[in-house]
Amino acid sequence: MWAAMSDERPLEESQEVADAAEDETAISEFETGGEPDTDNPVFREPGWQPRTGSDQPWDPEDLAEAEGKDPTPENVARAKAELDKDGPAAIDRTVP
């Protein structure tokens, strides 16, 4: 039916596809590398948001350790001040 509507044959009927089917080589027009593309989009639920480190509650001790510091009183105090000032952004800078 396609051939009757157009002078071009569908890709599936091309010699390149027939040759590739015989020797199992890749067909460049069919290659996507497994990544989403316009023909194979990724569908997500409505309201979907990417998860970040700030999606869960954090204590100042946790933030200090995530920054690679020992939870000394000074580091915990600095992390608490950072959480109080910046909120979730303090966590997202450290734990994306």
State pLDDT tens for residues 33-88: 656 666 667 777 777 766 666 677 889 999 999 899 999 999 999 999 999 998 88
Q: Do 34 and 12 share a domain, yes or no?
A: yes
Q: Do 63 and 91 meet the contact criterion of CB atoms below 8 Å apart?
A: yes
Full residue range of the structural domain in which residue 27 is found: 1-43
- Does residue 48 lie within any of the structural domains? no
Flag whether 17 is in a domain: yes
The answer to whether residue 26 is domain-embedded is yes
Number of domains into which the chain is organized: 2
pTM: 0.46
Q: Are residues 57 and 31 in the same domain?
A: no
25 lies in some domain: yes
Q: Is residue 37 part of a domain?
A: yes
